[in-house]
Amino acid sequence: MDTAQVIAANLTAWMAATPALDTLKKIAVKSGVGFGTVQRAKNGDGNITVEKLTAIAAAFGRQPAELLVAPGPASAGEVLELRPKTQREERIEQINALLTQTDDFGVVAVLEKAKDAARDYPARRQESAL
């Protein structure tokens, strides 16, 4: 991938991730760079100047060097972060959060004792009947 293609790929990705700058016209207005220049940069055509590259990057709140770095493959952690959680995973997180909160107040210990008492209740009831 040559430099113009790297710039085009990064600019396309930035546009997709930034609704306020998702059109060439919006980028041209915010950056002060001509529409045709922005269009050529996005298409990987031409030879953009450092000044114009800097202005486009600044419009996105980024450094111009970021436009020049070829996007690499995503790490497994990044892919997992992008994957939505299943209902089961969300429920487990909610339960763990509740257990952590209740444990701070000693409620978990009380609930465990109540569960043990409920399990032992039939045996104690038979003993008291004798």
Check pLDDT > 80 for residue 42.
Answer: yes
In the chain the domains, ranked by start, together with CATH numbers, are 3-68 (1.10.260.40), 85-129 (no CATH)
Give the pLDDT score at 38.
95
Confidence of residue 107 (pLDDT cuts 50, 70, 90): low
pTM, 2 dp: 0.56
CA distances to 85, 87, 90, 113, 115 from 98, in Å: 18, 16, 12, 18, 18
Long-range contacts of 75-84, Cβ-Cβ distance < 8 Å, separation of 24 or more: none
Check pLDDT > 90 for residue 7.
Answer: yes
Contact between 21 and 58 (Cβ < 8 Å): no
In the chain, alpha helices (H): 3-17, 24-31, 35-43, 50-59, 65-68, 76-82, 87-104, 107-129
Cα–Cα nearest to 13, from 22, 25, 4? 22
* Residue pLDDT, tens place only, 92-105: 777 766 666 655 55
Query: What interhelical angle do 87-104 and 107-129 show, nearest 10?
Result: 80
Q: Quick count: other Cβ atoms within 10 Å of Cβ 79?
A: 10
